[in-house]
Amino acid sequence: MNIFKKLFLLVPFVLGTINLQAQELNLFLIGDSTMSDKKNPEENPEHGWGQVLPELLTDEIGVDNHAKNGRSSRSFIGQDRWKAVLEKLQPGDYVFIQFGHNDQKYKAPSRFTNPFTGYRANLEKFVNETREKGANPVLFSSIVRRNFNEHGTLMDTHGEYPLVARLVAKDMEVPFVDLQRSTEELELFYGLEDSKSLHLHFKPGEHEYYENGKEDNTHLSRKGALLVATLALQDIAKQELPLANYIKEEVKQKEVFSKKE
């Protein structure tokens, strides 16, 4: 094998080594479809807010997104998705924990949890087992749905689940990011019509990915995902968590509520 071929074969290994050395720690994400990576990101208008985090963080931290469509805290554990995260966790890593959308699916026994019993127990499990690994849990309340009533009032759809997440965070002294509150403010800032741009609203033929149209008030457009992720990271920075050192400065300084993008 000549010297040039040897060098060519070594390039991927060397670059991978450099990348590993550059990343000081990893951020793991566990949650549902509002956080998850979406297929065909170049063509697909839908994005999870966890999907865009790498764009907003420095190269010194890796993002490993395990959030998955349709999962609740119960099914995430039952399908061994949490086990897969635990096997990777290293001391100093972070785990973002956001469930609730699918825990309320009372017609799906494999997903439903009672907020004050099963849901709370699962959140406590995530927190305790993260800490046992020497890693850092951060709890999140769910993002709101774009659910305006006939009077133009934004109505809650998550019931007691965000409250339980807050209570677990308080009782276990876990950093808590209230995305329910910040995304409520975001929806209201954009208003009844403009808030559609944060989600997936397309008339038939308007977008080739949704030939028959789409009206989805739960999941996020790329624009919505970037704004939600920015709000999450700004809260992290405000709380002065060590993780804030890995947030790009322009993200910390962005004025989300100064104008509609």
Distance CA(84)–CA(17), nearest Å, equals 23
> How many angstroms separate the Cα of 226 from the Cα of each of 22, 30, 153, 175, 211?
24, 18, 24, 21, 25
Of 33, 36, 72, 182, catalytic? 33
Distance CA(119)–CA(116), nearest Å, equals 6
Distance CA(233)–CA(187), nearest Å, equals 18
How is residue 167 written in tokens? 């209570």
CB distance 75 to 111 below 8 Å? yes
How is residue 222 written in tokens? 């790329």
> How many angstroms separate the Cα of 88 from the Cα of each of 34, 155, 177, 178?
23, 39, 24, 27
Active site residue 101: no
Dihedrals φ, ψ of 103, to 5°?
Answer: -65, -20
Of 73, 101, 219, 221, catalytic? 219
Distance CA(103)–CA(141), nearest Å, equals 12
CB distance 144 to 156 below 8 Å? yes
Active site residue 219: yes
DSSP string of 84-96, one letter each residue: HHHTT--TT-EEE
Q: Provide the residue count of the chain.
A: 261
Of 132, 206, 211, 215, catalytic? 215
Q: Which residues pair with 27 in a beta bridge?
A: 63, 94
Active site residue 185: no
List residues with catalytic annotation. 33, 215, 219
